[in-house]
Amino acid sequence: MNNQVTDKTMVAVTRAGDFWITKSQANNLMKAKDDRPTGFTELDDCMVTFASIDSILTAEKYQEYNFKRRGGWQCKYQAWHERGQQCAHGQMR
């Protein structure tokens, strides 16, 4: 298991997959996409078109995005649950 600390705290969500990137890479990627919307960029040794980049998310928003993608839901206590999972937050006293 790899327990290295990383500065990759953002995620580029693309049609080719999701790529963990640094905040600096995210800023450069957004600028390059604005400058050359029909161009390509390299992410983790893969060439990705700027047009295929759907969003750039923080780690927290990426976690929410994945819950939603899998059919998860958020209870009134602001906790996320997997599809079919019951909320027991109101029963904790």
The domain limits of the chain are 10-91
What is the predicted pLDDT for the residue at 93?
53
Residue (of 63, 49, 52, 50) closest to 11 by Cα position: 63
Q: Is the pTM of this model over 0.85?
A: no
| Average pLDDT over all residues of the chain | 90
| pLDDT confidence tier of residue 3, bands split at 50, 70 and 90 | low
pLDDT value of residue 7: 87
Q: Assign 6 a pLDDT band (cuts: 50, 70, 90).
A: confident
pLDDT in tens, 15-39: 999 999 999 999 999 999 999 889 9
Rounded average pLDDT over 50-75 = 93
Please say whether the beta carbons of 23 and 35 come within 8 A: no
Task: Please state which of the ranges 6-15, 31-40, 81-90 shows the lowest mean pLDDT.
Answer: 81-90
First to last CA, the chain: 37
| Token couple for 87 | 């909320």
